[in-house]
Structure 1
Amino acid sequence: MRIFLSVILVTFFLSSCVSKKEIFYLQDVDDYNNSPVSYQDITIQPNDILKISVGALVPETAKPYNRNFQGDMRQNSLEIMKLEGYLVSKDKTIDFPNLGAISVEGMTTAQLEEHIRKKLTDEGHLVQPSVTIRILNAKVTVLGEVNSPGTYSFTEESITLLQAIGFAGDLTIRGKRDDVLVMREVDGVRKVTHLDLTSSSWLESPFYFVKPNDVIVVNQNPPKVTSAGYVGDIGTLLGLTSVILSVIILVTR
């Protein structure tokens, strides 16, 4: 009986040691307490869909520069707004009413707002115009060992990597937390990085914030740590203990 209890205690001890190493996020996060957050500007990319709203000192004069949505239902439907938005072409241009083709290459939404506002003013279209721009189809794809893999849309200006993983229901117990793959395309260049979520060093990396169209891939742990140190249920624990106990009895006879 004493041997049986000893085996159970050793099993739990070993499992707890592995779990801290394999499961816990941000294990040294206290080292980053009160550290500054570096926000990044997101440049407009091909296939982005933009909602551009133009106002003016005399509101009626701005109507020709806005795409009108018909009815309240259409105004409240994000999918309809996407269909009515400005699609950024492969050559990074949009076709804007009365202004023609406008290049958005290398611009953030704030920079494009100022660019259009200046064109409307300098070319005599409107007096004291205002321009606001939002990206309507920002999305992130989370694949692999997460509870709900898929593509998730977001309307915020930016979200963090952990928020994106939260959309997917967190990593499963089999997810490899110390080697999460993130793929990103910016201005025609593909960037790939591997992040260790058990450490906190990635909090200061360019991948702390997710950018539209990022792909996050969580691979499975090797078979020897598939359970990440946790015993799935009491039956598994008793089965494992029984095997160990049988071996001990045979050896000590």
Structure 2
Amino acid sequence: MHLKNLLIFLFLISALSSCISTKQLTLLSEEESVANDSTHVYQTQKTPYKAQIGDVLSITVKTTDQNLAQLFNPVSNSEANIGNSTSGSYFNGFSVDLHGNIRIPTLGEINVLGFTLDEIRVKIESLLLRDYFKTEASFFVTVKLSGFKFTVTGEVGSPGTKSLLQDQLNIIEALANAGEVSFTGNKRDVKIIRQYPEGQKIHSIDLTKATAFQSPYFMLKPNDIIYVRPLKQKSLGTGTTAVQSLSTILTVLTLLTTTILLTTR
């Protein structure tokens, strides 16, 4: 009788420790008081991106003077669009070197480190007005990132480095492009490794709560690394579903019972 009670106790403890709750699996859950309020709005924190070393910028100068246009845009649009758009932008874009500079035909080196894309555009326009154009109406400058590059690793369906042709990206979109968080991924403590001028910093965000929208890390920055940690249930090796977990536990307890019975005879 004592052995039976012990086995039941072990079974219950194992079952409880191996269960993955719905709260651990659900994204962006709201508190009950908020969920009943259809007018509640979550404000995301968006800040302009500042150029960093290693970035590749796509810069285009548009003007009615085709000779000047060819001078500032030596690679034509048709050439730039050959093959993959992201790789085309990488080879034809302007790389930010170790000194924070880019080199533009006829304009030379321009320091862009720590400047927003709008600030870089204004810099280029000022140089063009000084040396080549009489009025701002004579030309139009666009400055964009050649691609939004980020890396996702850990408990996701398709880990790796991704690059999307868009200016802004949130963490939900990034994870969706990486095959979603796996069943054993810890959505409550997703790590974001972000690059700063002084080095790398690690941040955390809880994606199981709707308040994640208000986190300064909900909106990603180019070159961010997202790491989804495994739940402790994975280290226990109890399976990814309730059936698998119970099957594993029953197998272990059966072996344990058999061993005890054989050794006590």
Query: 1:96-124, CA deviations, whole angstroms, 9 ceiling, x for partnerless residues?
Result: 11111101022111211111011100234
Number of aligned residue pairs: give it: 234
User: Relative to 1, partners in 2 of residues 1:239 and 1:183: Cα closer, same or farther, differing over 3 Å?
Assistant: closer
* 2:157 match: secondary structure: coil
Query: 1:197-240, CA deviations, whole angstroms, 9 ceiling, x for partnerless residues?
Result: 1122221122111111100111111137766984145xx64675
User: Relative to 1, partners in 2 of residues 1:69 and 1:63: Cα closer, same or farther, differing over 3 Å?
Assistant: closer
Q: How does 1:17-56 map to 2 (within 5 A)?
A: 18-28=20-30, 31=34, 33-56=40-63
Q: Aligned to 1:108, which of 113, 116, 132?
A: 116
What is residue 106 of structure 2 aligned with on the other side?
Answer: 98
Q: CA deviation at 1:44?
A: 1.0
- Gaps of at least 5 residues in structure 1 are 1-9, 248-253
User: Relative to 1, partners in 2 of residues 1:227 and 1:213: Cα closer, same or farther, differing over 3 Å?
Assistant: farther
Q: What is the TM-score normalised by the length of structure 2?
A: 0.76
What is residue 86 of structure 1 aligned with on the other side?
Answer: 94
In structure 2, distance between residues paired with 1:20 and 1:160: 23
User: Relative to 1, partners in 2 of residues 1:147 and 1:232: Cα closer, same or farther, differing over 3 Å?
Assistant: farther
- Gaps of at least 5 residues in structure 2 are 1-11, 258-265
Q: Is the 8 A contact 1:182 1:193 kept in 2?
A: yes
Q: Aligned AA for 1:56? A: T
What is residue 122 of structure 1 aligned with on the other side?
Answer: 130
In structure 2, distance between residues paired with 1:83 and 1:126: 32
In structure 2, distance between residues paired with 1:24 and 1:81: 37
What is residue 7 of structure 1 aligned with on the other side?
Answer: none
User: Relative to 1, partners in 2 of residues 1:239 and 1:222: Cα closer, same or farther, differing over 3 Å?
Assistant: closer
In structure 2, distance between residues paired with 1:21 and 1:102: 50
Q: Aligned AA for 1:113? A: R
In structure 2, distance between residues paired with 1:34 and 1:100: 47
User: Relative to 1, partners in 2 of residues 1:23 and 1:54: Cα closer, same or farther, differing over 3 Å?
Assistant: same
In structure 2, distance between residues paired with 1:149 and 1:75: 27
Q: Which deviates more, 157-166 or 79-88?
A: 79-88
Q: Is the 8 A contact 2:205 2:218 kept in 1?
A: no
Q: Aligned AA for 2:30? A: D
In structure 2, distance between residues paired with 1:192 and 1:238: 38
Q: Aligned AA for 2:141? A: V
Q: Is the 8 A contact 2:45 2:219 kept in 1?
A: no
Query: 1:173-212, CA deviations, whole angstroms, 9 ceiling, x for partnerless residues?
Result: 1111111110000234322111111122221122111111
User: Relative to 1, partners in 2 of residues 1:26 and 1:227: Cα closer, same or farther, differing over 3 Å?
Assistant: farther
Q: Is the 8 A contact 1:145 1:174 kept in 2?
A: yes
In structure 2, distance between residues paired with 1:227 and 1:172: 15
Q: Aligned AA for 1:21? A: K
In structure 2, distance between residues paired with 1:27 and 1:112: 40
User: Relative to 1, partners in 2 of residues 1:144 and 1:238: Cα closer, same or farther, differing over 3 Å?
Assistant: closer
What is residue 251 of structure 1 aligned with on the other side?
Answer: none
Identity %: 25
Q: CA deviation at 1:85?
A: 1.3
Q: How does 1:121-160 map to 2 (within 5 A)?
A: 121-125=129-133, 127=135, 128-160=138-170
